[in-house]
Amino acid sequence: MTKIALIGYMGSGKSTIARILSDKLTMDFLDLDEFIEREMKMSITEIFDRYGVIKFRKIESEMLLKVARIQDDIILSVGGGTPVYGDNMKILNQYFTTIYLRANVPTLYKRLANEKEHRPLIARVADQDLAEFIGKHLFERTAYYEQSQFIVDVNAKSAVEISTACIELI
Ligand code: S3P
C-alpha cells in the first residue's frame, strides 16, 4: 500500500500538487481540510468560529488518524498546521511517505496576500504585517516540517516541475 502526504505552509501548493500526483500516479487524492469539512458538515472557518482553534486541532488529529488507517493508496494534503500538533508528525511519518513542499516567505506572501479572507489564521492580519507574520510562523513550524522524509523546494518552479520532483523521490 502506498500512502503519500504533502506537507507545508499555507500557500505552498500542497493541494495543487497532490491533485497532479493523484492524476499521474492514479491514486486517490484526499485533502485533510476537505475531509474534516465533509465529516463535520461545516467549513474550516465555521469550525474555527464555533469551536476555536484548540478544538479544531483536536478534530484535525482525530481525522488524520482516521485517514491514516484507510486501507487504500492515497495522496493526502494536510493543513499547514497539521504537522505541528500532538503526535501528528509521528503519525504522518508512520503511515505515509512524507514530502515537505518548502516555500520561502516571498513566495508565500505573493500567494497568500490575495486570499487571506478564506484562511482563518491570517484573515485578521493587516496587509502590512503579513510578510512578517508568515516569516515568524514559518520559522516556528519549520522544525516540524523538516521531519518529513523528503523536501522539495518549490520557489520559482512550475506545478509540473514540482510534481515531477516528487515522483522522482518516491
Ligand atoms: C492552517 C492551514 C489550513 C487549515 C487551517 C489552519 C494552518 O490549511 O488547516 O486554516 O494552521 O496553517 P492549508 O494549509 O491547506 O491552507
pLDDT at 71: 83
pLDDT band at 161 (very low <50, low <70, confident <90, very high): very high
Pocket test for ligand 1, best of 54, 119, 137 (most atoms within 8 A of CB): 119
Q: What's the gap in Å between 101 CA and the centre of ligand 1?
A: 14
What is the Cα–Cα distance from 28 to 74, expressed in whole angstroms? 5
Average pLDDT over residues 21-27: 96
116: which residues sit within 8 A by CB, 6+ positions away? Answer: 122, 123, 125, 130
Average pLDDT over residues 108-114: 96
pLDDT band at 139 (very low <50, low <70, confident <90, very high): very high
> For all residues of the chain together, what is the average pLDDT?
96
Q: Which residues are registered as beta bridge partners of 3?
A: 74
Q: What's the gap in Å between 80 CA and the centre of ligand 1?
A: 4
pLDDT at 131: 98
Query: Does 118 score more than 90 pLDDT?
Result: no
Q: Which residues are registered as beta bridge partners of 97?
A: 4
Q: What's the gap in Å between 19 CA and the centre of ligand 1?
A: 17
Average pLDDT over residues 6-16: 98
Average pLDDT over residues 72-92: 97
Q: What's the gap in Å between 82 CA and the centre of ligand 1?
A: 8
Amino acid at residue number 43: S
- Residues with CB under 6 Å of ligand 1 are 10, 14, 33, 44, 79-81, 119-121
SS3 18: helix
Task: Show the DSSP H helices in 13-112 as ranges.
Answer: 14-24, 32-40, 44-51, 53-68, 88-95, 105-112
pLDDT band at 88 (very low <50, low <70, confident <90, very high): very high
SS3 165: helix
pLDDT at 1: 81
Q: What's the gap in Å between 40 CA and the centre of ligand 1?
A: 16
Residue nearest to atom 13 of ligand 1 (CA): 79
Task: Give just the sign of the alpha carbon dihedral 36, 41, 43, 44.
Answer: negative
